[in-house]
Chains A and B, each alone.
Chain A
Amino acid sequence: EDQVTQSPEALRLQEGESSSLNCSYTVSGLRGLFWYRQDPGKGPEFLFTLYSAGEEKEKERLKATLTKKESFLHITAPKPEDSATYLCAVLEGAAGNKLTFGGGTRVLVKP
């Protein structure tokens, strides 16, 4: 069975304190890995798509990287507005259009 595991479950950071979130996956034939941001009580918002090992994507203070077994979301010099839950999801070879989501990492950035 496909598994997507995110760690840590929660992360408390001081403003400006850089850190990384991990998303590890076990799928046969990865077709894509996706990062979403979710604010409390809202629907997730798409951030990045990564397709192959070695690929990197950046958006403001966020940078996503991908290896053969995991992805990292690096948050550089975070601000309080970066506080959210970050979800990763994978699209596996035989699953068609079905994404499998991880449990998410709740990030709190204190001023």
Chain B
Amino acid sequence: KAGVTQTPRYLIKTRGQQVTLSCSPISGHRSVSWYQQTPGQGLQFLFEYFSETQRNKGNFPGRFSGRQFSNSRSEMNVSTLELGDSALYLCASSLTVAKNIQYFGAGTRLSVL
């Protein structure tokens, strides 16, 4: 069974641009969560989707948004990029809600210049 797939693996953008990251969960998993990892703040929760509905949201500005499709694939979007958005963005999937075991993808490393 394939694991969690995140695309692209690497991205370089400039300030003010927007970016879309994609996450395909493990087959059969319906919950997808997103996390941001930076050297200064560590791993922080962004949001969680289940059955196309956002169930939970972390403490991030409205420039960070996401959605989930009927096949459970999820995208997150960051608009008006800032230098501080440079980070490793990790996606995790679980069978139902996040209390179950979460499995992570390899991440997308975003650099904002």
Indicate, yes or no, whether A interacts with B: no
Q: Residues on B close to A: CB < 8 A?
A: none
